[in-house]
Amino acid sequence: MPDQNQSFQELLKDLTDEGDELASTVEWLSEKQLSTPTPAQGWDIRRTIGHLKWTDETAVMAVSDPDGFTGWLDEKLAEATPELMDTFVDDAAALASKGDPDFLLSRWSSARMNLNKAMASRAPSDRVPWFGPSMSVMSMATARMMETWAHGQDIRDALEIAPRSTPRLRHIAFLGVRTRDYAYSVHGLEPPTEPFRVELVLTGPDMSSVDDGKTLVFGPEDAREKVTGTVLDFCLLVTKRRHLADLSLEVVGAQAEQWLSIAQAFAGPPGPGRAPGVKG
């Protein structure tokens, strides 16, 4: 089993590769194509890239200058009304997406590179501030991996590109399992006390099995509540990029079924997600 430092380096490489793959998808788009609406209400491709750019730039400040980030956030909180705080992230994405498309993509590329360097300079267990509770640098990298892939899926859906499975999704699957109790809490529900078993087959881009059908396993083997399926389907679910009815996940137990109906790997209030049958 790799140690934490090795796992951290693998995560940073996967985050870079995920961003590079998404960049290669959008860098050739025309101005008109960048205005293509995504399934996220009110967001087009340009705004989605602007959101990723702004969040990566903000994360650089949190990792490299924690005191500066905390002071900046305190100022924002002091200035904002509750109504403005509700739209803070959306407004930042809209502002960040303005301007020349080439400049936007260049700024996003620089932000990704700078964030990777900033995180690589810290120990994976170091704590850094963020909009909610502080988190470890490794958790920050995992969250950026999830956000890059999930918003990338919005862009792929807008361009009618099918979801693509890669071994990088293992990080998002881990986050999806780890946030089980959080999903209950944001819905005002009491988390189950018993553990769940989650078994996910890791597949490659052509949906063939990776490493002789390697399976990611979470939870005790004898758990009564169980979820099985592919890593891709699970990641689409916990990022709310597909409805459970459109996936091939198998569920055993009423509590596991309830969890999948509310699961979310991202922080913040529960979003509406996709309706059944809606893929883009």
Q: List pLDDT tens digits, range 240-280.
A: 999 999 999 999 999 999 999 999 999 888 877 888 888 75
Cα separation, 231 vs 215, whole angstroms = 9
Please give the structure tokens belonging to residue 208: 């063939």
The top-level CATH class assigned to 170-262 is: alpha beta
- For 109-127, write each residue's pLDDT tens digit: 999 999 999 999 999 999 9
Spatial strand order of the sheet with 215-218 comes to 215-218, 196-201, 225-230, 250-252
For residue 175, list its beta bridge partners: none
Locate CATH 1.20.120.450 in the chain.
4-144
What burial class does residue 152 get, using C-beta atoms within 10 Å of its C-beta: 0-12 exposed, 13-18 middle, 19+ buried?
buried
Q: Which CATH superfamily is domain 4-144 in?
A: dinb family like domain (1.20.120.450)
Helix, strand, or coil (residue 42): coil
- For 67-104, write each residue's pLDDT tens digit: 999 999 998 888 766 655 567 777 888 888 888 999 99
- For 168-223, write each residue's pLDDT tens digit: 999 999 999 999 999 999 999 999 999 999 999 987 655 454 455 589 999 999 99
The residue type of 80 is A
- For 144-163, write each residue's pLDDT tens digit: 999 999 999 999 999 999 99
Please give the structure tokens belonging to residue 169: 């999704």
Contact partners, residue 167, CB within 8 Å, separation at least 6 = 14, 202, 204, 210
Contact partners, residue 84, CB within 8 Å, separation at least 6 = 91
Mean pLDDT of the chain: 92
What burial class does residue 254 get, using C-beta atoms within 10 Å of its C-beta: 0-12 exposed, 13-18 middle, 19+ buried?
exposed
| pLDDT for res 65 | 98
Residue in 174, 166, 184, 170 with CA at minimum distance from that of residue 270: 184
Locate CATH 3.30.1050 in the chain.
170-262
Over residues 223-238, mean pLDDT = 98
